[in-house]
Structures are given as C-alpha cells and as structure tokens.
Amino acid sequence: MSGRTGVETARAVADAVLYEGYQPFPYLSGGPTQEAREACGQVGVLAPPAFAAGVGEHSSCHAECLFEHEPGRGAGLVTDVDHQADLGVLRVRVRFRRLVDRSVWAGRRGGLAPVDAVRDPHGELRAWRESAPCEQDVLVPLTDLLGTPGDPDPDPAPRTIPLVAPAGREVLLTATPFAAPPPGGAWHPGAASQSSSAGEALVASGRVVRAWHRLDAELCLSARWLPGPFRVARLYAELRNTSPWSPGPTTDGLAAPGATERAAARDEALRRSLLAAHLVLYAPGWRFLSLTDPPWWAVTFTACCHNERAWPVLVSGDDHCHDDTVLAAPVVLTDHPRATPGVVR
C-alpha cells in the first residue's frame, strides 16, 4: 500500500502547526480556551489592504525558492536547450481559515431570542466566533511561467489568478443531529429519528446561525531560468488579500456599527482576513532545493531568495525519495518536517 505523498505530509504539518487551537463547529465545553484561539489567530493573518495600510498590518505574503528540472529524474545538466514541451505543471494549493460568526437562538414565549448558550446532551453550545478551513488548487503549466532555458534575459510576465471564497449563511434548526462535515464540505442534517453520536450537535430547541463574509484574494506566480549549466529556475509566489473593508456597518449586517477604535476596527477587519494563510507548492518532475542547505553551486542563488511571512521548506512523502513539494508557512520550520499526534518534528 502506498504511503503518504509530499502534499499530504505538508497538509498534515500545516494542520498541526497552524490550525492548532482552531475549533470547528460545533464548539462544546472543554475545547480550546479563547486565549489559545486568539493566540493562534495571530499567525499568518493577511488583512484587507485598506485596513493593513493604516495600522502597520500586512495584506500579503510571498515566497521565493529554487527548483531544478529533472526530466525522467535524470541529471540536471542542460544537454538540450529546447526542452520546453516537457516542463510539466506547477500545482499551488492555497490554504487558510476564515472567521465565522455563530449565534445561538432559543425558543422563548412562542418565538426565538438570541442567547449566550444552550445546553444539549453533549455539553454547552455557545454563541462564538469560530473558524472554517478554505483551500483552493491552482494549476499552471510551467511553459507559461518560464522563458527559454539557459537564457537569463527574458523576464516572462507573472500570472495572476483571482481567488474567491464566497459569503454565506447557514441556519441550523435544532432538535436535529448535525454531523461535522469534511473540510470545505456542506452541513447535512441527519434524520430526526437518528440517535446522536460522537461528533454531532443536538440542541433542544431553537436554531444556530453561522455567517461569514466574502473573501477576495490573488495568487501571483512568476519564474525565470537562472544562468549556468543546470536546469534551475527561481520561483516566486505571492498571496494577496484584496478584500474590500471599511470600519462602518456593512450591508450584510455582520459588522458592528460605529467600530471606530483600533481594537474594534481590527476585530471587524478579521472577518475579511485570511487566517493562518500558507501555500503548498508541488512540481512533479522537478526537485526543490533547500534554502538552508543548498548544493554548493546554488549557494549564491539561494542567498538572493527573499521571503516575507512565508518561509519555504522541503517536504517529502513517506518514501523520502523526491523533493518535489514545498510548504511555505508563516512560521519557520526545518526541512522535511513530520507530523505525529501532538508533535511536529
């Protein structure tokens, strides 16, 4: 049976390092504390540019790394400068979490009214601000990014790919079990007669409302061949939050009116921010080079790589055979990190 791939390993490491402390719906008593959740929320935050420009926050991150073309996993020396047709495809997985406002409503005097918490057979379900994972894959042919190999003069235009995470609202009627969906999945109510099991939420009466804002972003990619006898190129990847933001109330009713102080404004801006944003880069047929332990001939090139809020490290699968995957995370890791339950090493 085949083991875990480099992309799967990168996802497991990112989940352990960046998503620790985030609690998906439903939140029950005994979960992570609010302090732990807020501390985790400060990692890899890309705020709306209109907010970031005024308070010294950041709205983008970018990573630069080197990768060497290995057609057939052979030697890297250039023997044929016209090998454009076999460059393959670059796959970039953009991952982050988004803020979700959750309110709890209970039946009172024949109607529904907002409450702080409702008890159910599993524990206490509270009004809370939680997070939900978002991810999107982008595939770009490397022939679109790279010029003629061996010629450092051409500077191909970067590719900019727009990304959208739509706004949404979910109203979950209570007295029905709800099982937690897979990441990015929809909520599906179970049958009313079905008994509640682990991982389901059951409230005596009322409803739970979850609402979230639309998020807009851009992924900018560029690459160019480096001079020398090797099939080596420098890859540049930048993730930008392009969501609009204003400190006043918004039309969807999710903003707090009169949020003018900095703390209140930042709290509002987080609803349109990318949280724990990171990238997973995968290029089959290529070998990424370590930025901390490069081969001797690439030391000068790696020293010129500039990274901000996304530091790339090599990630390999269980076979440890290929360095065709990179995790660009907002925290500094070592090459080839591994995720085990409760530990990242």
pLDDT confidence of residue 200:
42
Say if CB 171 and CB 232 are below 8 A apart: no
Predicted pLDDT of residue 140: 92
What does the pLDDT read at residue 314?
93
Decide: 265 and 50 in contact? Cβ < 8 Å. no
* Residue 122 placed within a domain: no
How far is 345 from 337, CA to CA, in rounded Å?
6
Considering the domain boundaries, does residue 184 fall inside one? no
pLDDT at 31: 40
The answer to the question of residue 173 being in a domain is no
Whether 317 maps to a domain, the answer reads yes
Q: For residue 262, tell me if it sits in a domain.
A: yes
pLDDT value of position 266: 77
How confident is the model at residue 192, as a pLDDT? 31
Per the rule left: phi > 0, alpha: psi between -120 and 50, beta: everything else, 274 is beta
Q: How far apart are CA 49 and CA 241, in angstroms?
A: 7
Contact call for residues 122 and 201 (beta carbons, < 8 A)? yes
Q: Per-residue pLDDT for the chain (345 aa), expressed as one digit of tens each? A: 467 888 988 898 888 888 875 444 333 333 444 443 444 446 889 999 988 887 778 999 999 999 998 765 533 444 444 445 578 899 999 999 998 988 888 776 667 777 877 766 556 677 788 888 999 999 999 888 886 555 454 566 789 999 999 999 988 776 544 444 444 433 333 333 333 333 344 434 667 888 999 999 999 999 988 888 888 999 999 999 999 987 655 444 444 444 456 667 777 888 899 999 999 999 998 999 999 999 998 899 989 999 999 999 999 877 767 788 999 999 888 888 877 655 555
Whether residue 176 is contained in a domain is answered as no
Residues 241-268 as b/e (b if ≥16 CB within 10 A, e otherwise) read: bbbebebeebeeebbeeebeeeeebbeb
Number of domains in the chain: 1
Task: Give residue 72's pLDDT.
Answer: 56
Structural domain of 222: 6-24+32-100+131-168+212-344
Any domain includes 111? no
- Cβ atoms within 10 A of the Cβ of 34, count? 11
- Does residue 128 come out as left (phi exceeding 0), alpha (psi in the -120 to 50 range) or beta? beta
Q: Is residue 174 part of a domain?
A: no
pLDDT at 176: 40
pTM: 0.76
